[in-house]
Structures are given as C-alpha cells and as structure tokens.
Amino acid sequence: MNFTRPHEECGVFGIYNHKEAANLTYLGLYALQHRGQESCGIVSSDGLHLHAHKRMGLVADVFGNPAVFKKLPGSAAIGHVRYSTAGASVEKNVQPIMVDYSRGSIAVAHNGNLVNAQILKAELEAYGSIFQTTMDTEIIIHLLAVARTNSLVDRIVEALNRIKGAYCLLFLTKSRMIAVRDPNGFRPLCLGKLGNAWVVASESCALDLIEATFVREIEPGEMVICTRDGGIKSLFPFKKVAPTPCIFEFVYFARPDSQIFGKNVYLIRKELGRQLAREYPVEADVVISVPDSGMPAAMGYAEEAGIPFELGLIRNHYVGRTFIEPAQSIRHFGVKIKLNPVKELLKGKRVVVIDDSIVRGTTSRKIVKMVRQAGATEVHMRISSPPTSYPCYYGIDTPNRKELISSSHTVEEVCRYITADSLGYLSSEGLVEAVGLSNEVCKACFSGAYPIAFPKPMDNNQRELFEEGDAHNE
C-alpha cells in the first residue's frame, strides 16, 4: 500500500432503545466516514436475534438500498467503519464481528489496536481456537468464549484484562449494548441521548447529525451498560492508569466539528497554526493550506502572522479510491488529480504552505513543485505537528519507521528533498501547549515513547501483528 499520510483508523457507533436503530446507525456511520473508507457494517437486535449487513465499500454504497434496513430490525444496533490497521482489507474482516457461541449471540465493533494480539492468538490456537479472520478484534471474541465467569459483564472484564493496547468497543447482544474504552483512553468515545435512546459514537459529529444531545465523554477505563429500564450503568473495572489520549486526533484524524477529549477540534487546529507562526515566522505574501485538514491551521497561522489567507489549492472532492493514469506522462498526476493550484493567487507571490504532517515526503515534494509551477517565487512549508518519526501501534495505519522520512533525515534534509525554500515543524512543546492538555498524552509517533510497551521490536510494522500471507498483501 502506498502511504502518503497516516490513514484513519476506525469509527464506531451504537444506539439502544430506538425504533429506527439501524437507520440512525447508518447516519452515524455516514458522519464517521472520515475514520475509515474500506468497509462498513451494521448489526441490529430485535430482542430475539441479531441481524447483520456488512460489505466492502463506503457507507452510502453499502447501505444505499433502503431495502437493506428491512433486514436490520430492532431497537438496538451497532455499526463500524474501517480502515485496516491489523488484518487484511478483505470481506471476512469487515466489522462488526457477529458470532453464535455457547452463551448466545454477540457482535463486537472495535476501534483501536491490540499490541499483544500475536501472543494471545498463538496461545488461543494452541488450545484449539480456530480463527476466521486476520483481525486482532477476533481475539476478544475468543477470550469471551473461554472466560470462566458467568455474567456477560464479568466475561468482558475478564477478557479485556488480558489484552493490551488501544480499544473503544461496542458489544451488542439480543438484549444489551455495552461500550468500553481502554484505561489509557487512546481513542475518543462519547455518550449521547436521543429521546429515551442512548447513543455511543467515536466522535460528537455523529451525534449532531441525528440531533442527539451530547451528554459526556466515556472516560478512560469506563464500561457503560445500557439497561432494559432505559438507564445506563457505569463501571470502572480495570486498573487505573494515567490517561494518554492520542494527540494526533487533534492534528489530523478527528473531524473539525467534533469535540474530543474535552476540546473542540477546529479551535485546537487554529491554535496549532498560531503557535506555528510564533515558532516559524517568515516574510511572505500569502498563506495557503493543503486541503482539507491543513485549513484551520493555515487560518490560524495567517491571523497570527498578519498575512492574507487564500484558498490557493483547490481539492477535487469527487476523486475515487482508484483511477487510470494516462499513458502519456503527466507530471505529479496523482496529486494533480486531487489538488489544483489557483495560479492567479500564487503567481509572483512568496507562499507559505501549511500541512498537518509529512510522512514519506513524496506528496509534499509534488505540492511544492506544483505551487512553483503556478508562479510562486518562494515556497515555505510549515507543518502543524512535530516530525512523524515513529509508527503508531494504537490503531492508526502508518508505515514502518524506515519509510518515515523524518526518522532518518534532518529537517534541513527533508527541506531539500521537498524542494522548499524553508521548512518548519511545530515543536512538541508547542503542540502540547496549543492543545491545552497535560503532558499525559500519547505523542509516540513523534517521540518514540510508547505508553504501552509493544512485545515485538518497535521498528516492525504494526501490520505484522498477524503473520498470515494475506495480512502482508494489503
């Protein structure tokens, strides 16, 4: 797979006690589409049975036929959008996972990544477990099946006490919906209310779409159980640790209209740009962004620097996942089909280009050259995060370390490679200050300081959690 930037991980959505549960879950997944575009699925409960519909593809395509919802009856449902982080991009890995076992039927939707998945998988297989997918999520199902306790809540606790890593989980049985967030709180998860229904979503923007009220965030290490009487029960059954929410959610992943970790993403991104302008000012005529995630930071940079902000790069929002490149070579075709410069805004100008990150550097190099070809006299690249030098093992799809340009090149070397006149990254201290959280955040992709130790060497790609061949051919 050709990485030009980190890919979104996954998104989960669930609703309990609403007559249009599946329809509203579809809308919730639509709002979370930015967190995963490979596949999606919904499992509903009618009180007697679980019903599933899941496929490869975008939400609008998979659930575009209204007849689908007749196959998803019931007043409770959970859904999932996926971009694979562990396991291949194939039909069998589409979530939620739904199984029938000795204690009944259960479905699970998972956002995150288990760092001890390979060890647990080998142990379970040694005792006779047969895996149907290459996802780490299936390990949770097997741990539930072999748990020695009786109640579902106790079995979930027993299973999750054996796993290490990042997880936001939604469990659905014929009568209950249970949400769990890992003790470190790597990924966001929030709780909402729609009439008498409870709603759980990866981001608050999904609540907005269905006009649900944001109640609060589900706290790190918390289990929320939706009860039959219309209430919820909150438990904290895991050993308490210092929370380490992923700071890159603010930089790139979350939608700007969401509230995560107690903060509005859009306002934080503007502050990242202001801080970047304070740290790396430059004499210039115009500030532009690499759409779309770089736009709020570019606006903040322009305001702080007193330089006009313009939409100098226009994004084609209707580009599919694949396209046929013409036989006649077009320079920078892959970028040009997605972005096009407004030459009248750039010609003869000293331009500051704001982006959220540089991964391999190939895209940044093409963008800089594109801006120059549009007539810019100078191109200064500014990045609203520190250099990404280490892979993520907590649910974000990043290349291994040797493919990250900042892991083996200085800022000056990266600047020369992308052919910019200057390059400035936001400092780690500036990032934390702009976000406004304590130092207890996960910055492992910048620092290499992983809050939870990974049992394999850190320079291994997280995709190698499962060693099957199809996990290597994504």
Binding residues: 246, 293, 355-356, 392, 442, 445
How is residue 143 written in tokens? 């741990």
Residues 21-24: contacts with CB under 8 Å, at least 24 apart: 21/72, 21/74, 21/75, 21/76, 21/77, 21/197, 22/69, 22/72, 22/73, 22/74, 22/77, 23/69, 24/77, 24/194, 24/199, 24/210
Interatomic CA distance for residues 138 and 42, integer angstroms: 17
Binding residues for Mg(2+): 293, 355-356
H-run or E-run covering 143: helix 137-146
Interatomic CA distance for residues 300 and 256, integer angstroms: 14
Radius of gyration of the chain (CA): 23
H-run or E-run covering 138: helix 137-146
Q: What are phi and psi of 107, to 5 degrees?
A: -125, 145
Binding residues for [4Fe-4S] cluster: 246, 392, 442, 445
Interatomic CA distance for residues 12 and 9, integer angstroms: 11
Neighbours of 248 (CB within 10 A): 25
- Which residues on neighbouring strands pair with residue 201, listed in sequence order? 13, 190
Q: Out of 10, 190, 226, 415, which one is annotated catalytic?
A: 10
168 is catalytic: no
Catalytic residues: 10
